[in-house]
Amino acid sequence: MPIISFTRRIVAAGILFVAATQPMLGETFAQRVAPCLACHGENGDSPHPVVPSLGGQPAPYLLIQLYLFRENQRASTYKKGDEMVEIMSEMTKGFTDDDLRTFSEFLSKQPPPPLPPLPTDPARMQAGRTLITQHRCNSCHNLDLTGRESVPHIANQREDFLIKTMREYRDNVRHGYDGMMASVLAPVTDAQIADLAYYIARFQ
Amino acid sequence: MAPCFTVRRSILLAGTVAGILLAAPAFAQQPPASASPPAAAPAAPLPPGSPLIGRPEGNPAAAKLAPIAPPPLPAAPDKLPAAKLKLPPGFNIEVYASGIANTRSLRVGDKGTVFVGTRLGNKVTAIVKKDGKTEIKTIAEGLYRPNGLAFHKGTLYIAELSRISKIDNVEANLDKPPKPTVIYTDLPKDEAHGWKFIAVGPDEKLYLEVGQPGNNVLHSPAHGQIRRINLDGSGAEVVARGVRHSVGFDWNPVNKQLYFSDNSRDWLSEDTPQDELNRVTKVGQHFGAPYCYQGNLLDPEFGWGHSCREFEAPIMLTGPHSAGLGMRFNTSKMFPAKYKNAIFLARHGSWNRTTKFGGDVIAIFLNKDGTVKLSEPFITGFLDNNNYIGRPVDVEFMADGSMLLSDDWNGAIYRVSYGKPRVAGR
């Protein structure tokens, strides 16, 4: 599929979302948050490719991400952002600081994503486990990978999203709030990222 | 309900073929399992930039410590801790400006404009006070970690992570500032300790710091130094080496020497090494990192084969993990004579310590020979029950002799004055 048309379609979709998330007279919070849930999952568990699950995310992490989207800081200035980022920036454009706080509080209260029913290859699980120890992922993301404060919950996150995100951090295409993930992932290869994502998505 | 699907339906109706969200980009495809070589031994070293280098394994107290990210949104004016801050008798503190996210370096222009840099945002902000009103203007945006600022003869210099630019005659163009002109880009792009502090010295050169790219690393000769360049970006020269990460320096108005704060390494212990205040007496001096810290402590990993005598010792130890950042000499006429030519150092406060330390401003008094006589607390109260309610970053003096202090935790700037309080009841 040509990437241009994909981009165009998703941007068009984004603009329609914007209409849905901007506060309108008499609109309830449930109506405003509905577009979030439609893509990120009704119960904190995203059914859509490369769209992250948000259930169980610490509110401070969500607040930082929403802020970075609103301020157009999520994508690197050295490289054009991806269409998902454009959609999120459009959607959060008119948000007030209080909106950002309310949305992050609400989304953080959704249940964390469940263990997905995916096949598990013991060799790859072991490889992922070793990499987690080696790179001290569980130092900040916690031993159970549920995150804390500004550090996200990654356990049972979508595998495709984990791969995308880790690659982007490593290549400094996705700017973090600080430079921590870019530094930590700098020496990690694509194959190792795949193993990390495989393990984290199936983490028990 | 589900507008995601409503949108998809309308897109489909509009003649588009596939469901937008069902089209996964190529990277979603998994590489084959066999593509990964067997993982290396768990004892392999951490990547160079990791702040976790040197952290002890299996220690539950150490496991609780990690750098503390400030909230992205500035605090509301009524939530600022100004009333809880303590100063010596006769000094007053008030909120000068608030609502500016992640306020870091401060510079004051010739016409009184206050310029504010940021590490986590992408803007440089100007604060203009006119007829009792405060105006906050964005004068440059879309920048990457524009932490460092310098103001010299009408020109504002801006240091991003890996480039330096300038805006000439900036105070005449605050409402329609031109895009900053890049003057220097010969800088590493490391995130770790990559944000910069800059200042123009008495020699009319721009001084900048290039930190070590990680907690404790052997690095390239382009890192771990303070260097100076001409104001057009030419003529780079290394002034000090063995600098781990300095986010504040200034020149002693008496002897014209460069003094700088430096952050020592993490994870060695709760109480050592202490952070440093250093003095450059000769261009090119080496201040120890990563071989020797605090002038007398060889690094357990890189110190072998070295002696601390090879390096310049700090003139003052400024506390374990205390993160002394911005510092200025005081030439203010407003403060009592005791503080003349004293250094004010903003300590951001520790993260790598169970009981937090710092989170204050200290005054450092010097002897005639430029060494340190003593220091004492100047502004305290940012630490409350081992939690930060604010974190000091930079100090800067205004033309009337009052002092500004930035607080990146709250996105606010305070003004410290001496004398009769202007606000009744304080």
CA distance B246 to B210: 8
Q: With CB atoms and an 8 Å threshold, state whether B42 touches A149.
A: no
CA distance A79 to B93: 43
Q: Name the A residues in 20-39 with CB < 8 Å from any B CB.
A: 20, 34-35, 37-39
What pLDDT shows up at residue B45? 55
Q: At what angle do helices A59-70 and A83-91 cross, to 10 degrees?
A: 100
What pLDDT shows up at residue B409? 97
B75: nearest CA partner in chain A = A97
Q: What 3-state class would DSSP assign to A138?
A: helix
A36: nearest CA partner in chain B = B4
Written as tens digits, the pLDDT of chain A (204 aa) is 344 444 444 544 554 455 555 556 667 999 999 999 999 999 999 999 999 999 999 999 999 999 999 998 887 655 566 788 889 989 999 999 999 999 999 999 999 999 988 889 999 999 999 999 888 898 889 889 999 989 999 999 999 999 999 999 988 888 888 888 888 898 899 999 999 999 999 999
Q: Quote ipTM for the complex.
A: 0.77
CA distance B190 to A2: 35
- Which of A37, A51, A149 shows the shortest C-beta gap to B69? A149
Stronger pLDDT, A6 or B359, i.e. the higher one: B359
- Residues linked to residue B198 through DSSP beta bridges, in sequence order: B208
Residue B140 binned pLDDT confidence (cut-offs 50, 70, 90): very high
Dihedral over alpha carbons B140, B141, B143, B146 (to 10 degrees) = 60
Q: With CB atoms and an 8 Å threshold, state whether B2 touches A159.
A: no
What pLDDT shows up at residue A77? 54
Q: Can you count the helices (H) and strands (E) in chain A?
A: 10, 0
Q: Would an 8 Å CB–CB cutoff place A43 in contact with chain B?
A: no
E strand or H helix at A60: helix A59-70
Is residue A37 exposed (0-12), middle (13-18) or buried (19+ Cβ within 10 Å)?
Answer: buried
E strand or H helix at A162: helix A159-170
Q: Is residue A107 within 8 Å of A62, Cβ to Cβ?
A: yes
Instruction: Tell me the pLDDT tens digit for each residue of B188-198.
Output: 988 889 999 99
What pLDDT shows up at residue B155? 98
Chain B residues inside the 8 Å CB shell of A163: 27-28, 30
Which are the contacts of B377, defined by CB distance < 8 A and separation ≥ 6? Answer: B360, B361, B362, B363
Q: Per residue in A137-149, is it b (16+ CB within 10 Å) or e — as a string? A: bebbbbeebbbee
- Which of B40, B49, B190 shows the shortest C-beta gap to A184? B49
What pLDDT shows up at residue B138? 97
Q: Is residue A71 within 8 Å of A46, Cβ to Cβ?
A: no
Task: Tell me the C-alpha to C-alpha distance, in Å, between residue A52 and each of A150, A158, A165, B59, B270.
Answer: 16, 6, 10, 32, 38
What pLDDT shows up at residue B410? 97
- Which of B1, B50, B144 shows the shortest C-beta gap to A184? B50
E strand or H helix at A63: helix A59-70
Q: Would an 8 Å CB–CB cutoff place A123 in contact with chain B?
A: yes
Instruction: Tell me the pLDDT tens digit for each residue of B407-421.
Output: 999 999 999 999 976
B99, pLDDT greater than 90: yes
Chain B residues inside the 8 Å CB shell of A73: 121-122
Q: At what angle do helices A59-70 and A97-108 cross, to 10 degrees?
A: 140
Q: Per residue in B359-375, is it b (16+ CB within 10 Å) or e — as a string? A: bbbbbbebeeeeebeeb
Handedness of CA B40, B45, B50, B51 (dihedral sign): positive
CA distance A143 to A126: 16
- Which of B11, B38, B119 shows the shortest C-beta gap to A13? B11
CA distance B48 to B219: 9
CA distance A87 to A39: 12
Q: For chain A, what is the radius of gyration of the CA atoms?
A: 17
Task: Tell me the C-alpha to C-alpha distance, in Å, between residue A164 and each of A19, B30, B69.
Answer: 28, 11, 23
- Among the listed ranges A91-100, A191-200, B23-32, B154-163, which one has the minimum average pLDDT value? B23-32
- Among the listed ranges A179-183, B91-95, B362-366, which one has the minimum average pLDDT value? A179-183
Chain B residues inside the 8 Å CB shell of A63: 71-73
Which are the contacts of A106, defined by CB distance < 8 A and separation ≥ 6? Answer: A29, A33
B118, pLDDT greater than 60: yes
